[in-house]
Amino acid sequence: MSNNPSDLKYVASHEWIRVEGDGTVTVGVTDHAQELLGDVVFVELPEVGTELANGDDAGVVESVKAASDIYAPLSGEVVAVNEELEDAPETVNSDPYGDGWFFKLKLTDESELDSLLDADAYSEHCESES
Amino acid sequence: MGNKTALYQAHVDMGAKVVDFGGWDMPLHYGSQMEEHNTVRNAAGMFDVSHMTVVDVTGADAKEYLRYLLANDVAKLQEKGKALYSGMLNEDGGVKDDLIVYLMTDPGVTSEWFRVVVNCATRKKDLDWMAEQKAKFDDVALTEQPELAMVAVQGPKALELAKVAVNESRAKLIDSLSVFQGVESEGWFIARTGYTGEDGLEVMVPEDEVAAFWQALADAGVEPCGLGARDTLRLEAGMNLYGNEMDESINPLQANMAWTIAWEPETRDFIGRSALEAAKQAGIEQKLVGLVLEGRGVLRAHQKVIIDGVGEGEITSGSFSPTLGHSVAMARVPAATGDSADVEMRGKRVPVKVGRPVFVRNGKKVFS
């Protein structure tokens, strides 16, 4: 089973969230998600400055196998995107919780954080899907 | 739980991600489909294709039966072991399946017989159809060979490494093979054929010997590859996949398979011939082409192709091409389509180049 870091939060659509403590969060896709996707070949990210509402389409991951939407797991403004993924999309496979991050959001409503899953709850969710 | 090939445990032991494929539990990949793809283009990979169906065709009328059953003409096989690719058509000219047929004896001998390899997903309907058609002949026997496993060894180093994995007499036989030719060897059948656009072998081996052969190949440095890489390799090579590029509603002229129809001699009647002649006479309105997207994004099966002023078509197979670093696809489009089109991808129209449906052969890009 995937080994999900306990210091991260998760949503059921397989994004992870790292709360940075300064009103921003970093978002990526989980190890489980990259495994389902297979080899990632393109990543389309939102533009810096975009205002995203919780659940909005935030980008696309294309693997050899399929295209998959990335959703904003929280509401906020995109303040940074991982431009390295343009040239090295395979980083999503090799380091999903590190260099394979997607974008950073400045949150509009920090109370939304309460609805996120912790690592155990997310693991259970993955098992229920398989 | 699906059917399992004799190599199932070997796949699990090698870390395969196993998926259902036509009722069989088959390896999709052993970690990375892309790496496996590149291994076949640059060195050598091996695929378990034991799920494919092998049928031996024997009897005094075997040849005339196959000349009636298939759109290509087995009379072209003039050397022992030679292989022929053909469609097996219905009366309307639609493709029931595509297959490879080998001449297993010297041509024209009284004991002349053939070996046919058909797809696993179409096994039942193929066998039923073949049995039905043989009623018109006095002496034809069809014998399925389910106890034969099959391993495809593919890539520029395939022959060299396969020779290390077999005994000396088989290594000599491998050296003797020309392209598209096979040879029997003590229950094995070793053929220089494949589905990747690279040189290589497809080896039929009795089930109880195949695990040892697979391990010997691995020890020789051949990497295991799954069905994922098999699909991207055949797509780059421009090889049709039954169910994607053609089916019973599509005739060979609409599927870039005109070269597999043997019109001569005119006296040869084969199933679907009159329908194909009528279709040709009426004019073929669709063709199978290759699409190239050099920008970002991945073309996928069933996306709509729009040709301004001409009409619309549909992608039959599409993927990222690991060898080329961008996406390629095969698509069925109106015959009047020129060298460009748009594909509707996720609500946006994206321009693509249109050309022949072949992208990579022997490791090299083959379109401009």
**For residue range B235-291, what is the model confidence (pLDDT) as tens digits?**
999 999 999 999 999 999 999 999 999 999 999 999 999 999 999 999 999 999 999
Interface of B with A (CB under 8 A): 29, 32-34, 228, 232, 296-298, 300, 319-320, 322, 346
Angle at alpha carbon of residue B164, lines to B161 and B168, rounded to 5°: 135
pLDDT single digits (tens) A73-115: 999 999 999 999 999 999 999 999 999 999 999 999 999 999 9
CB contact under 8 A, A67 and B346: yes
Closest Cα in chain B to A63: B320
Question: Cβ(B291)–Cβ(B341) under 8 Å?
Answer: yes
Closest Cα in chain A to B36: A39
H or E stretch at A122: helix A119-129
Backbone phi, psi, residue B20, to 5°: -80, 130
- The C-alpha of A83 sits at a distance from chain B's nearest C-alpha, in angstroms, of 15
Q: Which of B142, B144, B140 is nearest to B65 (CA)?
A: B140
End-to-end CA distance of chain B, in Å?
45
Where chain B has pLDDT below 50, the residues are: none
Q: Which of B210, B201, B252, B209 is nearest to B90 (CA)?
A: B252
Dist. CA B289–CA B255, nearest whole Å: 9
Among B233, B315, B320, B350, the strongest candidate for a mutation testing the A interface, having the largest count of A CBs within 10 A, is: B320
pLDDT > 60? residue A117 = yes
Dist. CA A99–CA B172, nearest whole Å: 51
- The C-alpha of A62 sits at a distance from chain B's nearest C-alpha, in angstroms, of 7
Single-letter residue type at B295 = G
Closest Cα in chain A to B325: A41
Report residue B281 as tokens.
């006479």
Question: Cβ(A29)–Cβ(A21) under 8 Å?
Answer: no
- The C-alpha of B250 sits at a distance from chain A's nearest C-alpha, in angstroms, of 26
Is B41 strand, coil or helix?
Answer: helix
Dist. CA B326–CA B88, nearest whole Å: 34
- Who among B228, B296, B297 is closest to A64 (CB)? B228
Among B231, B293, B294, B296, the strongest candidate for a mutation testing the A interface, having the largest count of A CBs within 10 A, is: B296
Question: Cβ(B97)–Cβ(B116) under 8 Å?
Answer: no
Question: Cβ(B53)–Cβ(B204) under 8 Å?
Answer: no
CB contact under 8 A, B232 and A41: no
Angle at alpha carbon of residue B34, lines to B29 and B37, rounded to 5°: 85
Question: Pairing between strand B45-48 and B223-224?
Answer: parallel
pLDDT at A1: 46
H or E stretch at B22: none
pLDDT at B22: 87
Q: Could you say which residues from 28 to 87 on chain A have a Cβ atom under 8 Å away from some Cβ of chain B?
A: 38-39, 41-42, 44, 60, 62-67
pLDDT at A129: 83
pLDDT at B347: 85
Under 8 Å CB-to-CB from B269, ≥6 apart: which residues? B68
Closest Cα in chain A to B327: A64
Q: Does A121 touch chain B (CB under 8 A)?
A: no
The H-assigned helical ranges of chain A are 31-37, 84-87, 91-94, 119-129
Interface A-B: count of C-beta contacts within 8 A = 36
Q: How many residues does chain B have?
A: 368
H or E stretch at A126: helix A119-129
pLDDT at A85: 96
Dist. CA B186–CA B156, nearest whole Å: 26
The H-assigned helical ranges of chain B are 8-13, 33-42, 62-69, 123-133, 158-165, 168-176, 207-220, 227-236, 273-282
With b for 16 or more beta-carbon neighbours within 10 A and e for fewer, the B92-104 pattern comes to ebbbbbbbbbbbb
pLDDT at A2: 54
CB contact under 8 A, B33 and A62: no
Dist. CA B14–CA B294, nearest whole Å: 35
CB contact under 8 A, B33 and A65: yes
Report residue A18 as tokens.
């790292």
Query: Which residues in chain A are closer than 8 Å to B297, comparing Cβ atoms?
Result: 42, 62
- The C-alpha of B33 sits at a distance from chain A's nearest C-alpha, in angstroms, of 7
Give the ipTM. 0.83
- Who among A39, A42, A44 is closest to B32 (CB)? A39
Under 8 Å CB-to-CB from A130, ≥6 apart: which residues? none
- The C-alpha of B74 sits at a distance from chain A's nearest C-alpha, in angstroms, of 37
CB contact under 8 A, A38 and B346: no
pLDDT at B368: 63
Under 8 Å CB-to-CB from B311, ≥6 apart: which residues? B333, B334, B336
Q: Which CATH number is correct for A9-129, 3.40.47.10, 3.40.50.2300, 3.90.1170.50, 2.40.50.100?
A: 2.40.50.100
